[in-house]
Amino acid sequence: MRSKLRGDFQLALTIAFAVVTMLGIAPFAVYRYTHGQTLVGLVDTAIMVAIGLGAAQAYRSGRAEAMALLIAAACSIGCAVVSAMVGLAGLLWAFPVLLANFLLVPRRQAAALSLVLTAGVLLFDPVLGSAMLKATFAVTAAVVSLFAGIFAWRAESQRVQLEAMAAHDPLTGAHNRRNMAAELKTAMAASIRDGTPLGLLVFDLDRFKAINDSLGHEAGDRVLVQVSELVRRNTRKQDRFFRIGGEEFGLLLPGADTAALQRIAEKLRRAVEAEVRCGDRGVTMSLGAATYCPGESAGSWQRRADLAMYRAKREGRNRTVLDDDCGHVAVAAGESVRDPAIEHGA
C-alpha cells in the first residue's frame, strides 16, 4: 500500500484527505446522535460514507481523479446542508471545504463546487440573517477560494516540473531509464488490448569513447544532443525516446510492425551517418530492433533488442540487426565500417 501511494500523488492526497476528514467529522456525528440531533447525525454519517467509499474505490481502481471529485462534491453539498440545519456550527466547516476543493480537483471543478457551497450557505444558513453578514461571508469565501486556487495552481505547476525533471535526461531531453520501464509496460498493455504491433529500437553510438578521449566530454555531449535532435525530427509525437545511459538510447514505436521497425531504424542510421559530425569525424550508430511478442515481459523484450544491438556491433557496426520474432534474430541491411573489432565503449 505504501509503495502504491508513493507512486501516485493524487491518490495519496485523496486518501489522506479522506482519513483526516472522517476522523474530524466522526466525533461531531457521535455528539449529535447522543444529543438528540439524529437528522444532522445522519447527514454527517452520509458524508463520511461517501468519503470512505470514494477513497476505497480510488485505491482499488486507481481512478483517483474521479473519486476525488465525488469526495469534494459530497463535502461541499454536505457542508451546505449541515450549515442550513445547525447554523454557525456548520458554517465554520465551509472554509476548510473551500480550501480542500482546490487541492482535490482541477481548478474549474473546484470553483464550481465552491460556488455551489457558497450559494447554499448564503441562501439557507439561518445565521446569515442580515445583508451585511451575507456580504461578509461571500467576500471571505471568495478570498479563501482565490488564494486556494493560486496555491493549488502553483503547487501543481511545481509538481509537474519536478516530475518532468525526474523523468527526463537533462542533457538530451529524452526520457530517462527509470521512465522507460513504465512507458514499456503501458505500451505493452495497449498493444495487447488493441491488437496493434509494437516496436523497440535500442541504439548505441559507435566508438563514442574515442570521441570523449580525444576531443573531450563537451564534444561528446554535443554529439549526444545532435543525435537526440535528429531522432526527434524523424519520429512521431506518439513515439517515446529514451536515453538509457551514456551513449545508448531507446525508441519505443507504437504501431510499428517488423517492416516499419526496420525501415525506421535504417532511416535513423543513415541520417546519423549523413548529418552528425564531431569536428572532422563522422558519427555512426549500431541498432538493435525487436517487435513485441504478446506474453513476454518488458525485460525479455528489451533484452532481445539489446542482444540484437550487440550483434550489430560484432558484425561491423553502423548497421541494424532485427530480432523479428521471439528468439530468432535476423540481420537487416547496413554498411560495415572499416574496423570490425569491438572495443570497450564502442
Query: Could you tell me which residues are beta bridge partners of residue 281?
Result: 278
Per-residue pLDDT of 149-171, as tens digits, reads 999 899 888 878 877 777 888 89
Residue 267 in this model has a pLDDT that exceeds 80? yes
- pTM beyond 0.85: the answer is no
Across 17-21, average pLDDT? 94
For the chain, what is the mean pLDDT?
Answer: 89
- Could you tell me which of 133, 127, 78, 74 has the C-alpha nearest to residue 104? 74
Query: For the ranges 19-23, 41-45, 147-151, 161-165, which has the lowest average pLDDT?
Result: 161-165
Q: What is the predicted pLDDT for the residue at 187?
A: 94
39: left (phi over 0), alpha (psi -120 to 50) or beta: alpha
Cell numbers representing residue 324 in the block: 523479428
Determine the Cα–Cα distance for residues 281 and 276; give it in Å rounded to an integer: 9
Determine the Cα–Cα distance for residues 195 and 287; give it in Å rounded to an integer: 26
Confidence class for position 61, pLDDT limits 50, 70, 90: confident
Render 284-331 in DSSP notation, one character per residue: -EEEEEEE--TTS-HHHHHHHHHHHHHHHHHTTSSSEEEEEETTEEEE
Residue 142 in this model has a pLDDT that exceeds 70? yes
Across 197-216, average pLDDT? 93
Across 205-219, average pLDDT? 91
Per-residue pLDDT of 283-334, as tens digits, reads 999 999 999 998 899 999 999 999 999 999 999 999 999 997 654 434 444 4
Residue 341 in this model has a pLDDT that exceeds 80? no
Cell numbers representing residue 168 in the block: 527526463
Q: What is the predicted pLDDT for the residue at 7?
A: 65
Query: Could you tell me which residues are beta bridge partners of residue 222?
Result: none
Reported as half-sphere exposure (CB side, CA atoms, 13 A), residue 111 has a value of: 10
Residue 340 in this model has a pLDDT that exceeds 70? no
Phi, psi (deg, nearest 5) at residue 324: -85, -10
Q: What is the predicted pLDDT for the residue at 63?
A: 85
Residues 6+ apart with CB under 8 A from 236: none
Across 76-93, average pLDDT? 93
Query: Could you tell me which residues are beta bridge partners of residue 322?
Result: 289, 330
For each of the domains in the chain, give its residue range(s) and CATH number, in order of start. 2-167 (no CATH), 175-331 (3.30.70.270)
Maximum separation of any 2 CA atoms in the chain, in Å: 93
CA 46 vs. chain centroid, Å, equals 33
Determine the Cα–Cα distance for residues 171 and 222; give it in Å rounded to an integer: 9
Pairing of strands 248-254, 281-282: unpaired
